[in-house]
Structure 1
Amino acid sequence: MSAAQPWFEADAATIAAAVHGGTASATVVVQSALDRIAATDGRVNAFTAVTGERALQRAAALDALPAEARAALPLAGVPVAVKNLFDVAGLPTLAGSKIEREAPPATNDALLLRRLEAAGAVLVGALNMDEYAYGFTTENSHEGPTRNPHDLSRIAGGSSGGSGAAVAAGQVPITLGSDTNGSIRVPASLCGVYGLKPTFGRLPRTGSYPFVSSLDHLGPFARSVRDLALAYDAMQGPEDGAPGDPGCAQRPVEPVIGTLPQGIAGLRIGVLGGWFARNALPEAQAAVARVAEALGATRTVELPLVEAGRAAAFLISNAEGAALHLPDLRRRAQDFEPLSRDRFLAGALLPAAWVMRAQRVRRRYAEAVAAVMQDFDLLLAPATPCSATPIGTEWLELDGRRQPLRPSFGALTQPISCIGLPVCAVPVWGAHAALPVGVQLIAAPWREDLALRAAAALEATGITQAPVALLP
């Protein structure tokens, strides 16, 4: 690929290698990304802000470095973008809301963004999301819906919909999102990209707008497993000095990039049945079956207390989210999106005894799942019940019942995130399918390496793939 060609189809590893080798400048790559955003985002609506001037200044600074200094940066010249709940210096941290537009601009970048840029990445903008991260579709009434790049009439998923769509559209090769109840894995599934929700506490959340502090995770999206690993490795590590995130584990960096070629030999892999089969339509079940066959997974297992665990996560999300927003709910409820406002108001009315009981159930559920995982290195499950639905869809036929669509998209992710397990979501395209559906590769705490090794093996054999969308 020459410097004169567009770079929107290149992955981060290819871009960094070109910048290292001098076959392309960071400025050329970043300008190509800005051009791609300008050409496509009127249809996709992934971005809420484009930081073009900042990006080009950063790219010029990278180009001015000595060659050996650039070569030491694993993400040299790689354009990135972040969900707009990450602080970006000079921008208000919107968190998808109308109310936060009035907040003063952030004075510093979020810690994970600083770490990506320290590795050579270049921020090009902030991305659309569901208001206050409370949703699974990114049909944001303040900013407009983010559209699925593979079919612009359909949802991108949420709440990190802009993050998934920007990668699928070739606007940037890496983005950051958040996942409380599934908000990385759902957009990754629907947009056909890779997404990583690390173990709870693995990556510090300093400089991000919270939703549910006891459940919130941050993580990357990418179009290749190697890019996912590069971004993840660049962001690892405990905070220096006084911690801004009390939930961050003081755990050393445990790089995964070198483990990807190790494959799946010796891994004990099971398939989640029961709840995870009943709440998946045939296309999602077929995606899991295809991944299971490729990984040699023949044993099916059910998680105990899974429905109770999901119910506990609902209550905890309602209560913690409502507590955070209670002053604004009292003063200016009309400025919330109606759906998020009603959910927060319901959370504010929950009896404290219910929330305490939910935490106890969550703990028992976590203990039960830990016992199951003693027999497995990885568990497989659908990431979403189906592929992307048309924008505006309100209902889904699932498990023999007509159910509200928005919460149904978290039915398969919420029981995993509420106990903090690491998950890599991988995109699977069925035979002649126009849209993908994702599969979760679920590991034990702190074993992101195993999920990524399996993801790399699937990618290498073509079982999973994340092509750039052919936008009309």
Structure 2
Amino acid sequence: MSVPDWLTAAEIAQGVRSGALSARDVAEHHLARIAALNPTLNAYTDVTAERACFRAAEIDAAVTGGSDPGPLAGVPFAVKNLFDIEGLVTRAGSKINRENPAAMADAELIRRLEAAGAVLLGGLNMGEYAYDFTGENAHDGACRNPHDTDRMSGGSSSGSGSATAAGIAPLSLGSDTNGSIRVPSSLCGIFGLKPTYGRLTRHGSFPFVDSLDHLGPFARSTGDLALAYDAMQGADPRDASVAGRPVEAVTGLLDEGIDGLRIAVASGWFDTDGLPDAAAAVETAAKGLGAGRTVEVPGAAAGRAAAFIITNAESAALHLNRLRDRPDDFDPDTRDRFLAGAMLPAGWLVRAQQVRRWYLEQVTALFEEVDLLIAPSTPFSAPLIGQKTMELRGDELAVRPNLGLFTQPVSCIGLPVAATPIECGTVMPIGVQIIAPPWREDLALRAARHLEREGIAAARRPAV
């Protein structure tokens, strides 16, 4: 049977469960799109076609036999290649890792999505060892933005953003340490969810910075985002950060609306003066959500500085042996950042963690006054591939670190964020962060859903 392009995950699941669609046809349709588009986009590094078709056939057999395969029945998905996929080497975007043995089992979040009926299509391109905001991988090549293939997809979850925006993965998974879900979501014009730190298990994923790493989904609608998120929730004793977390489903809460929510625009560090695309996105989202005030986020600059030090120090410690033994096998930009981290005095890391705790206290107090904050996701829309600098508030600054200008202070303290693409008249996509207090993903997603229903937030159809 024919499978239309651009079906949402919810529509695919409904069609498969009802018998109106075949999971095998859905899988083959997306595999054909990958074959056609990936040579241009370079979003996938591994395609698990045989596995996908086998799994889809199992789902069709279950439907024929009268069983319910789950809320994501037949929905294709793909994962950043730092997730373990049984039988494949977990690259983490690197040259060195691909010499490792193949993974013996799937990452836990892959297992949970498949238990809900989803079908894995493969592994996705990413920045080396997740230390990147551009999507320009020195070993696997640059991942391209489907809205303009001369432009960056954002990183480090570059393939996740590109594949989901291009319709070659209705759902995808990425990681976010300093902004690696929110930056690609903004540049590629899709929805993303960075949950609260400790909400989703990281078991079976290659780490970057343990005290900052989050995993989360990308999708082209808030409903799809919520379906994937709910399927992945739950405690996991193998990841101490989520050991006791209960499931707090959000799918049924999306349409509760925003009445009564105190929504404010974040200012201070998050000001958009001199950043026309970011300003347009924030202004449009604020108007759509009826944001009644502007509030300064206290300590955000110090929080970002602390995040830089924690990131450099922890990641350098993880890679110290590789830096000693194989320095020439790193992307030079990545290697030099790790080397800088390896030379940081221990006292700086201690101080950074103290600042981080202080900053969390300031923001926790702020959330006694407001329920949600609106902030820009990126300071500008997608730069050109290879572009090293960009004018930022009158200064010529490096693109690579400053794509995370607005995301880094948020992940530093583990807050949940719905990355939301905003229709605000810009040539290329750009989005906002809808930031909630810890463990209140439901509030952020309700606000994103409201904007979506009003036609203010939408995943753009790309040029490819």
Q: Specify the TM-score bucket, using the shorter chain as the normaliser.
A: over 0.9
- Contact 2:152–2:382, Cα closer than 8 Å, also in 1: yes
Which string of whole-angstrom CA distances, capped at 9 and with x for unpartnered residues, describes residues 297-316 of structure 1? Answer: 02001111111110000000
345, 354, 375: which one pairs with 1:360?
Answer: 354
Corresponding residue of 1:105: 102
Corresponding residue of 2:9: 12
What is the aligned residue count?
Answer: 464
Does residue 21 of structure 2 align to residue 28 of structure 1?
no
- Say which SS state the counterpart of residue 71 (structure 1) adopts: coil
- Contact 1:279–1:412, Cα closer than 8 Å, also in 2: no
Cα offset for 1:434?
A: 2.7
Which string of whole-angstrom CA distances, capped at 9 and with x for unpartnered residues, describes residues 268-293 of structure 1? Answer: 00001111115771111111000100
Does residue 321 of structure 2 align to residue 327 of structure 1?
yes
428, 443, 446: which one pairs with 1:450?
Answer: 443
Cα offset for 1:396?
A: 1.7
- Contact 1:160–1:187, Cα closer than 8 Å, also in 2: yes
- Contact 2:19–2:63, Cα closer than 8 Å, also in 1: no
What TM-score, normalized to structure 2?
Answer: 0.98
286, 298, 304: which one pairs with 1:292?
Answer: 286
Deviates more, 1:62-71 or 1:128-137: 62-71
41, 49, 54: which one pairs with 1:52?
Answer: 49
Task: Give % identity.
Answer: 60
Cα offset for 1:8?
A: 3.3
152, 158, 163: which one pairs with 1:161?
Answer: 158
Corresponding residue of 1:419: 413
Q: Name segments (4+ residues, structure 1) moved above 6 Å.
A: none
Does residue 346 of structure 2 align to residue 349 of structure 1?
no
User: CA separation in 1, counterparts of 2:274 and 2:218?
Assistant: 23
User: CA separation in 2, counterparts of 1:465 and 1:258?
Assistant: 20
Aligned partner letter, 1:121: A
Corresponding residue of 1:148: 145
191, 195, 206: which one pairs with 1:194?
Answer: 191
Cα offset for 1:395?
A: 0.8
Does residue 173 of structure 2 align to residue 180 of structure 1?
no
Cα offset for 1:430?
A: 2.4
User: CA separation in 1, counterparts of 2:67 and 2:131?
Assistant: 39
Indicate how the Cα distance of structure 1 residues 72 and 58 shifts in structure 2: closer, same or farther if over 3 A, else same.
Answer: closer
Which string of whole-angstrom CA distances, capped at 9 and with x for unpartnered residues, describes residues 389-440 of structure 1? Answer: 1001111211322111111001100000000000000001322x33110100
- Contact 2:272–2:379, Cα closer than 8 Å, also in 1: no
- Contact 2:17–2:63, Cα closer than 8 Å, also in 1: no
User: CA separation in 1, counterparts of 2:131 and 2:459?
Assistant: 26
- Contact 1:396–1:408, Cα closer than 8 Å, also in 2: no
- Contact 1:189–1:437, Cα closer than 8 Å, also in 2: yes
Cα offset for 1:68?
A: 7.1
Indicate how the Cα distance of structure 1 residues 54 and 452 shifts in structure 2: closer, same or farther if over 3 A, else same.
Answer: same
Does residue 393 of structure 2 align to residue 435 of structure 1?
no
Which string of whole-angstrom CA distances, capped at 9 and with x for unpartnered residues, describes residues 37-72 of structure 1? Answer: 000001110000000000000001111114575535
- Say which SS state the counterpart of residue 379 (structure 2) adopts: coil
Does residue 452 of structure 2 align to residue 459 of structure 1?
yes
Corresponding residue of 2:461: 468
Q: Which runs of 5+ in 1 are unaligned?
A: none
What TM-score, normalized to structure 1?
Answer: 0.97
Deviates more, 1:293-302 or 1:61-70: 61-70
- Say which SS state the counterpart of residue 250 (structure 1) adopts: coil
Indicate how the Cα distance of structure 1 residues 280 and 169 shifts in structure 2: closer, same or farther if over 3 A, else same.
Answer: farther
Indicate how the Cα distance of structure 1 residues 414 and 160 shifts in structure 2: closer, same or farther if over 3 A, else same.
Answer: same
Task: Give the CA RMSD over aligned residues.
Answer: 1.1
- Contact 2:16–2:23, Cα closer than 8 Å, also in 1: yes
- Say which SS state the counterpart of residue 79 (structure 2) adopts: strand
Aligned partner letter, 1:184: I
- Say which SS state the counterpart of residue 108 (structure 1) adopts: coil
Does residue 115 of structure 2 align to residue 124 of structure 1?
no
- Contact 1:12–1:227, Cα closer than 8 Å, also in 2: yes
Q: Which runs of 5+ in 2 are unaligned?
A: none
Corresponding residue of 2:224: 227
Map 1:198-277 onto structure 2 (within 5 A): 198-239=195-236, 243-277=237-271
